[in-house]
Amino acid sequence: MMLLTCPWCGPRNSTEFRFGGESHPRPRPDAATPEEWRDYLYFATNPRGWSRETWYHGSGCRRYFAIERHTETNEHRAIDERRAAEARR
């Protein structure tokens, strides 16, 4: 069982968490087209590599948080917003 580092509690067994899937920004509900909204609801990029994900520490601090996890190695790290912004450019 992998260890996942909760930003509040530190490394804990992954069974303490619930996986919330890839983090996608929520489109503006009054402006989104059906395609954009369903992309948000149902589609994941499922990359081989770094993936931005939501986790919920249900058996611990009960906080939702986002991390980046490498899908091949399970290596994970806190999100560096500047790096994320650069990646989007």
Partner 1 sequence: MTQEQIALAGTGAMRLGRQEGEVIDRRRTITFRWNGKQQLAHPGDTIASALAAAGERVFSRSFKYHRPRGILTADHLDPGCQLQVGDEPNVRAAHRLVEADMDVRSQNTWPSLRFDVKAANGLVGRFLSAGFYYKTFIKPERLWPVYEKVLRQFVHAGSISPDTAHDYYDKRYAHPDVLVAGGGPAGMSAALAAARAGATVLLVDEQGALGGRLRWGGPAELHELHRLTAEIAAEPGIEVLTDSVVGGRFDDNWVAVVQRNLPNVVERLVKVRAKSFVVAPGLIERPYVFEGNDLPGVMLSTAARRLINLYAVKPGERAVVLTANPEGDGAVADLQRAGVDVAAVVDARHGTTVTRARGRSGVQSVELSDGRRIDADLLVTAVGWTAPTSLLNMSGDKPVYDPRSARFRPDPARLPDTVLATGRIVGDGSFSEIAAHGAAIGREAARRAAGIRARWQTQVPTRTPGEPVAEVPAKPVEIPDLTPAAHPELFRGHTHGFVDFSEDVSSKDLFTAVAEGYDSVELVKRYTTVTMGPGQGKLETVNAVAVVAEATGRTIAETGTTTWRPMYAPVTLGALAGRIFEPVRHSPMQAWHERQGAVPLVAGQWIRPEHYGDPAAEVRTVRNAVGIIDVTPIGKLDLRGPDVPELLNLLYVNKWNNLGVGRVRYGVMCAEDGVVLDDGVTGRLGEQHYLMSTTSSGAGTVWEWVENWLQTEHPDWQVHVTPVTTAYASINVAGPRSRELVGRLAEGVDLSPEAFGYMNVRTGTVAGVPDCVLWRIGFTGELSYEIHVPAAFGLHVWEALMSAGADLGVAPFGIEAQRILRLEKGHFIVGQDTDGLTQAYTAGLGSLVKLDKQDFIGKPELTWQAERGGYPLLVGLQPIDGRIVPAEASQIIAGGRIVGRITSSRMSPTLGRSICLGQVEAGLAKPGAVVTVRLIDGRNIPAAVTPQLAHVDPEGERQRV
* Residues binding partner 1 (CB under 8 A): 1-3, 5, 7-11, 13, 20, 26, 29-30, 32, 34, 37, 40-41, 54, 56, 58, 62-64, 74
Structure token digits, residue 48: 């081989």
Q: Which is nearer to partner 1, 18 or 50 (CB)?
A: 18
Q: How far is the CB of 21 from partner 1 (least distance, A)?
A: 12
Nearest CA among 49, 69, 50, 60 for reference residue 6: 60
**Residue ranges in 1-89 assigned as alpha helix (H):** 34-42, 81-88
Rounded CA-CA distance 40/5 in Å is 26
Q: Which is nearer to partner 1, 62 or 88 (CB)?
A: 62
Q: How far is the CB of 52 from partner 1 (least distance, A)?
A: 13
